[in-house]
Every structure is written in C-alpha cells, then in structure tokens.
Chains A and B, each alone.
Chain A
C-alpha cells in the first residue's frame, strides 16, 4: 500500500491568487475597520469618545490576507493528492521514546531546581509540571472511555469532582490520611461511573454525549446546593495536605525539612506533589497499556468499532461498557483526590463543563486512543495557556490593556478547527495494534497504514 504517488507539480494561477488576496483584504477592511479599528470608550466625564485600534486591526487584517494566500497556494491550489500516511515514528525511535520521555519527566523538577533555585523553579514545577501532568492523567483516564471504548463522555469532570470531594470530606471529617483515601476516592468515583453507566447503556453517540453532559451538571449542582454537606459555593478549605508516609511538609520539628536536615522551603512539597502526580499518571498509562493487551481492553476497542459485531461474538457489551466507565472514572477519582490535596481548597468552580470540554479536547485533538497524542495535546493546550499569561510583549502590539489570557478560548477554538482540518482524526491517529497473549507473530506497527473508515 503505497501512498507516495508522485504529486503533480502545483500549477498556481498567480493572478487569480493575488486578486483573491486583494478581495479578501477589502472585505476584511470593510468589516474589521469599523468593528475592530474603532472603539467607543467612556472618558472621565462619562462621555463617549471614539478611539482607534489600528495596530490590532492591521494585525488581524494581515492574518486574514496572508492566511488566505497561504491556503490558496498550499491547500486549495493543489490538486487533490492521495491521502498521506499518518504520522508514525520509526520503530527504533518508538522503542526509546517512552523511556526517554519518562526519564525527562523524572529529572525535570531537579534540573529546574538547580537551574533556577527554589524561588524561580516553583512556577515551572507547579504551574507547568503539575498542571500539565494532571491533565495528562485526566486525558489518559478519559481516553479509556472515549478513545478505547468509543463512549463519548462529556461529563468526565463529575468523577474528578467525586474524587476531590471524597478526599476533602473524608480527610476533614475522619482525619484519614491521603494514602488511605486515594484508593477510596478511586473506588467511589468508579462506583459513580457505574451509576452513570447503567442508564446510558443503550445510548450511543450524540444521545450518550447529552446524558453524560447532564450527569456532569447534576453532580456540580449537587455540590453547589447541598450546602450542609459540601458548603456549596463557598467550597471546602483547609483540606489536609498529603504527607510523605507520615512526614508532613511543614516547618515543624517533625516536618520533612527538619527530618532530612534541610532548610525549610515550600519547594519541597511542590516537588513531592510533582512526583506524586507523575506516579499516578504513569500508573494510568501503565494500566491502560496492560489492559489493551487483555481480553477486556480488546473488548473495549471492539466495542468502539462495532457494537453489534461484539455481541454476536459473545462479548457482553453491558459489562464491557460498565468496566470502561468504572475504570475511566477511577483514574479521575485518583486525580481528583490529588487535586484536592494539592490545592488545599476546592469548590464547584473547579468542576464546570469547561473542564470536561478541555479534557475531551485533549483526547480528541491528541488522537482518540493514543497515549502519546494525549501527552502532546495536554502539553500544547495547558502549557500554551500558561505561556499566554507571560506574553507581555503582546501588549506592545495590541495596547497596554490587552490581556492575552482572555484570548485563551479563541486560540483554543482556532487550534481545534485547525487540527480538525489538518488531521481530522487527531494528531496521532495510528492505532497501535496490540500483540497479545501467546501471539507468535509479532505484528509491527510500522507495517500497517491506516485507510479510510
């Protein structure tokens, strides 16, 4: 199966292309000029005055014209070319990629600490490292439900919330330790996964998505309205922090710093939390990889491909779906209790539909079912958001009251549309075949190319 048919030399009609660009520019000027270029503001005496924002206007105009020109030249202008083989790493690279990546994650906080010192490194380890790892873990967890079993779940954040509140409430009420509550939170979340699973067993696609979305909202509304139990909007604060097998991270005499003869610094806890979430995320990936090689994982993937065929092959689709929901929810529960322990404070604000959408976007953009895809998408989206906070130089272009973080959603949407146009099945769309059980013939992923369908 070769996709490398020689592409016909692109023949571009330059005059048409340029004319098109000019027309684009004129239309954009007509529309953007008044709407973007001019703005009314109230002055000190509450009078409306007209201000101009020509730099912003020009920037947008340039994006439109150049963008359309590039599209003309490189996309629309080309004859339809045969589908290109999906992004696939050579096997030798693939074999070392995972150990290399994991090694990188392990040395990351230490090297940042050495490079920037305790003060400078906290931002990198916390805002970037921990934050991204939480989303990678959530992405990997949701990947089991959406990517492997093909069940579109828009309410995944509900299980994250269950995990977080389970830890917060049980830790505060009964004083149980993080290490006891972590598995408990996972169990409770997977229990809720099954509760959600039952009513949606017969639903697929859009209908399933709607019901799971509603489920996520129900959980959030319960958290808001059951004030006696959850403190409602006020949230729960003073959640006990995790300890290193009983050694707390504080300045006390039996704290971590004192025990190991170090000078107390908040970075110790941050680094500890980093390794904690790293371990949890790696556990998720490990379990997913293992499960894919077991009958249950195979059944999930077969379910995604064709539910009717599954049943006629003797697969119980009911238990298959429920285990997918339960397993996915369990990892969200772990992540949730980590989140609560890390923040020390939780409120329903953290568990809105937007969170579910972000996690789902990570899974879909990454390429459904692909662990690497989730990593890339999580780094790009979460890391990208964090980076935008720091893009002060944009103020030079767009004016001093320009706040890049307000454009997060816009960029997010643009990235989504872009990736879906460019790679409709996500960044990494190859499905790695699973060798499993006593299989004699090793099936190499590189031999396999993805067709339509």
Chain B
C-alpha cells in the first residue's frame, strides 16, 4: 500500500474544554474520493477545519504528502494545494463571480487565471452567465458551484468539500456530484467529501467513514457501507438527522 496523501492519526480537537474529536484516524489516498458521513453535530466539519489548522488538533498528527501540517498556519496549508469549499460556502458576497474566482488563484499571484476560468466555466456553465453578478445575490446552488469553482482555481491536488448538497434541490445536487466525479476521473483530483446526504455521497465515493460523536465508528468502500445494516438504519432509511 502506498503512503496516503492525507493521513489523520489520533487527532483530538477541543472547543475550549469541550472535546469535539476524540482520536480520529483517517486516510485519503491520491486519486480517491473519500466521504465522511455522520449526523448533525458528529464532528465532521470540525475534522475538516482541523485538517486546515483552525481549530488546531490538540493531540495527534496530520500529514499531507509527507509533510506534517498539524501546526502549520492555515494559509500555508492552503499553499500545499489543498483547497476547500467550507461549511456555509463562504464566498465573498460583495465581490462579483469573476472576482471570487480570481481570488481562488491568489496563491499563485493570479498567474493562470484566464486558462483556469475556461476550465471551471466548462464545468459550471451557469457561473459564466453570472460572471458580473455579486456573489451574495446568487442562488444557493450557484453559490455552492462558485465555492467549488473558486477552490478549483487554486489548482488543488486535493479538494475538501463540506456538505455541498446542503439546502439544494436534488437536480442541482446531482449536477454538483457529477462535476466532482468528472474532476476525479479526468484530472485525478483527490476529494474528501463531508456529507449528511449519505446515499449520494456513498454512491459517489470510493471509500467512506462514518462518524458518531467525534469518533469514527465504521469505514469501508462506498458499496460496503451502503449495504451495511447499521448505516442503512441510521443514515439511509429516514434515520436521525
């Protein structure tokens, strides 16, 4: 087995005195789509943000491409070509779609903006139509597309997505998941996908992890988890959310 691209080992994260991650282990290999599913409040977003260094892991180790990033400042982690579409999307509301996308290329001093714009517009043609519109006035689905497209503008090796399906119509979700699959297949982009929408996420992903109360309780291929009775009971058959 090759060295994983992202390795999370025994990570504990606290908010003040409250523990949110209780020793998490997780691997993402190059070229994989890995999903993390779990109920609301399980700690999925916390894990994703811990990978990005805010909040910081109190114990444990996170390595990316062999580099220890556990204590690295967030902006330096981003410079290792990890990009994210965070919880709440966090696009720049007063900036236009164009400007938002350009900001994605900030780490390369905006060097390859033009080329990459064509690429993300091919992936999300809707954004091209909205190029001069302010980010804050886009629909939810468009904002999600913008968040992903902005992340892609940094030419990432690995893309972290926090609940891209949240609040979107099924058809829009499908479009976004298709785009993720496409990127993975054609460009070999490694994807770490945090989702509550377990069914679609597990169908898309090569492998998945299940998180309950800050602990990873199960892992396996997407197919295995979809078939697992526990997963079905908790996350697929109208289980708790």
- B37-92 interface with A by 8 A CB criterion: 52, 54, 73-76, 78-79, 83-84, 86, 90-92
Q: Is A313 a contact partner of B104 (Cβ separation < 8 A)?
A: yes
Q: Is A315 a contact partner of B75 (Cβ separation < 8 A)?
A: yes
Q: Is A453 a contact partner of B94 (Cβ separation < 8 A)?
A: yes
Closest residue of chain B to A440, judged by CB? B114
Closest residue of chain B to A429, judged by CB? B94
Closest residue of chain B to A1, judged by CB? B137
Q: Is A451 a contact partner of B102 (Cβ separation < 8 A)?
A: no
Q: Is B91 a contact partner of A309 (Cβ separation < 8 A)?
A: yes
- A162-216 interface with B by 8 A CB criterion: none
Contact check: which of B76, B84, B96 meets A448 at CB < 8 Å? B96
Chain A residues lying within 8 Å of B99, measured Cβ to Cβ, are 298, 433-434
| Given A433-B98, A450-B134: A313 in contact with B103 (beta carbons within 8 A) | yes
Is B179 in the interface zone, CB < 8 Å from A?
A: no
Chain A residues lying within 8 Å of B75, measured Cβ to Cβ, are 310-317
Chain B residues lying within 8 Å of A451, measured Cβ to Cβ, are 93, 134, 136-137
Q: Is A314 a contact partner of B93 (Cβ separation < 8 A)?
A: no
Number of A-B contacts (CB under 8 A): 115
Is A295 in the interface zone, CB < 8 Å from B?
A: yes
A55 to chain B, nearest CB (A): 48
Q: Is B136 a contact partner of A443 (Cβ separation < 8 A)?
A: no
Q: Is A295 a contact partner of B106 (Cβ separation < 8 A)?
A: yes
A443 to chain B, nearest CB (A): 5
Q: Is B132 a contact partner of A299 (Cβ separation < 8 A)?
A: no
Is B154 in the interface zone, CB < 8 Å from A?
A: yes
Chain B residues with a Cβ closer than 8 Å to the other chain, count: 37
- A420-453 interface with B by 8 A CB criterion: 431, 433-434, 436-441, 443-444, 447-453
Contact check: which of A299, A306, A308, A437 meets B113 at CB < 8 Å? A437
Please measure, in the bound complex, the distance between the C-alpha atom of A317 and the C-alpha atom of B154, giving whole angstroms.
17
Is B5 in the interface zone, CB < 8 Å from A?
A: no
| Given A314-B106, A433-B98, A452-B136: A308 in contact with B90 (beta carbons within 8 A) | yes
Please measure, in the bound complex, the distance between the C-alpha atom of A440 and the C-alpha atom of B86, giving whole angstroms.
29
Closest residue of chain A to B108, judged by CB? A314
Is A305 in the interface zone, CB < 8 Å from B?
A: yes
Is B213 in the interface zone, CB < 8 Å from A?
A: no
Q: Is B132 a contact partner of A437 (Cβ separation < 8 A)?
A: no
Chain B residues lying within 8 Å of A153, measured Cβ to Cβ, are none
- B99-135 interface with A by 8 A CB criterion: 99, 102-104, 106-107, 109-110, 113-114, 131-134
Q: How large is the interface on A (under 10, 10 to 19, 20 to 34, 35 or more residues)?
A: 35 or more
Chain B residues lying within 8 Å of A299, measured Cβ to Cβ, are 106
Specify which of B76, B131, B134 lies most central, judged by the most chain A CB atoms within 10 Å of its CB: B134
Chain A residues lying within 8 Å of B83, measured Cβ to Cβ, are 312-313
Is B173 in the interface zone, CB < 8 Å from A?
A: no
Chain A residues lying within 8 Å of B92, measured Cβ to Cβ, are 301-302, 305-306, 309
Chain B residues lying within 8 Å of A433, measured Cβ to Cβ, are 95-96, 98-99, 132
A451 to chain B, nearest CB (A): 4
Chain A residues lying within 8 Å of B207, measured Cβ to Cβ, are none
Q: Is B96 a contact partner of A313 (Cβ separation < 8 A)?
A: no
Specify which of B74, B84, B86, B91 lies most central, judged by the most chain A CB atoms within 10 Å of its CB: B74
A149 to chain B, nearest CB (A): 13
A73 to chain B, nearest CB (A): 32
Please measure, in the bound complex, the distance between the C-alpha atom of A299 and the C-alpha atom of B75, giving whole angstroms.
13
Q: Is A439 a contact partner of B113 (Cβ separation < 8 A)?
A: yes
Chain B residues lying within 8 Å of A444, measured Cβ to Cβ, are 132
Please measure, in the bound complex, the distance between the C-alpha atom of A440 and the C-alpha atom of B102, giving whole angstroms.
12
Q: Is A453 a contact partner of B132 (Cβ separation < 8 A)?
A: no
A257-272 vs B, Cβ < 8 Å mask (1 yes, 0 no) = 0000000000000000
Please measure, in the bound complex, the distance between the C-alpha atom of A440 and the C-alpha atom of B154, giving whole angstroms.
19
Chain A residues lying within 8 Å of B84, measured Cβ to Cβ, are 312
Contact check: which of A298, A305, A436, A438 meets B93 at CB < 8 Å? A305
Please measure, in the bound complex, the distance between the C-alpha atom of A311 and the C-alpha atom of B106, giving whole angstroms.
11
Please measure, in the bound complex, the distance between the C-alpha atom of A45 and the C-alpha atom of B154, giving whole angstroms.
83
Seen from chain B, the residues whose Cβ lies within 8 Å of a Cβ on chain A are 52, 54, 73-76, 78-79, 83-84, 86, 90-96, 98-99, 102-104, 106-107, 109-110, 113-114, 131-134, 136-137, 150, 154
Pick the 4 closest A-B CB pairs, nearest first.
A451-B137, A314-B107, A314-B78, A453-B136
Seen from chain A, the residues whose Cβ lies within 8 Å of a Cβ on chain B are 1, 295, 298-299, 301-302, 305-306, 308-317, 431, 433-434, 436-441, 443-444, 447-453
- Please list 28 pairs of residues, one from A and one from B, whose beta carbons are closer than 8 Å in the complex, sorted by A's number: A1-B137, A299-B106, A302-B103, A305-B93, A305-B94, A306-B91, A308-B54, A311-B54, A311-B73, A312-B52, A312-B84, A313-B104, A314-B78, A314-B79, A314-B106, A314-B107, A317-B75, A433-B98, A433-B99, A433-B132, A439-B98, A448-B96, A448-B133, A448-B134, A449-B137, A452-B137, A453-B94, A453-B137
Given contacts A295-B106, A448-B132, 13 further A-B contacts (CB under 8 A): A311-B78, A312-B84, A313-B104, A314-B154, A315-B106, A431-B94, A431-B95, A441-B98, A449-B134, A450-B137, A451-B136, A451-B137, A452-B136
